[in-house]
Amino acid sequence: MELLLLDEFQIIFNNYLDRRLKEISCEKEFNDLLGYTPQSGGKRLRPYIIYLLSNALGLPQAVYMELGLGVELFHSGSLIQDDLPSLDNDDFRRGRPSLHKYCGEGSAMLIADYLMLYPGKIFLALPLSAKAILNLLKLWYEASLQVIEGEFFDVNIKAKKMEEIEKVHRLKTASLFGFCFSAPFVCAERFLEAFEMNKAGIDFGRAFQIFDDIKDKLGKSETLGKTPGKDEAQNRPSILKHMKVEDAKGYAERLYSKALEKIKQNEVRKALITVRELIEEH
Residues that bind a copy of itself (CB under 8 A): 26-27, 29-30, 81, 84, 86-87, 104-107, 109-111, 113-114, 116-118, 120-121, 124, 130-131, 133-134, 137-138, 141, 144-145, 148-149, 151-153, 155-156
Residue 11 or residue 87: which is nearer to a copy of itself going by CB? 87
Residue 114 or residue 191: which is nearer to a copy of itself going by CB? 114
Q: Which residues contact 121 (CB under 8 A, 6 or more apart)?
A: none
Cα–Cα distance between 30 and 21 in angstroms, integer? 11
Answer for the pair 38, 115: CB distance below 8 angstroms, yes or no: yes
Residue 21 or residue 110: which is nearer to a copy of itself going by CB? 110
Q: At its nearest, how many Å lie between a copy of itself and the CB of residue 111? A: 7
Residue 63 or residue 268: which is nearer to a copy of itself going by CB? 63
DSSP H helices, the chain, are: 6-23, 28-36, 45-57, 61-83, 99-103, 105-124, 130-156, 162-169, 175-187, 191-218, 221-224, 230-233, 245-261, 266-280
Residue 36 or residue 211: which is nearer to a copy of itself going by CB? 36
Residue 90 or residue 275: which is nearer to a copy of itself going by CB? 90
Q: At its nearest, how many Å lie between a copy of itself and the CB of residue 36? A: 13
**CA distance readout (Å), 89 to 55, 101, 113:** 39, 10, 18
Q: At its nearest, how many Å lie between a copy of itself and the CB of residue 163? A: 13
Q: At its nearest, how many Å lie between a copy of itself and the CB of residue 169? A: 15
Going by the DSSP 8-state scheme, the letter that residue 5 receives in this structure is P
Q: At its nearest, how many Å lie between a copy of itself and the CB of residue 118? A: 7
Q: At its nearest, how many Å lie between a copy of itself and the CB of residue 92? A: 19
Distance of CA 10 to the CA centre of its chain: 14
What is the H or E stretch that residue 93 is in?
A: strand 92-93
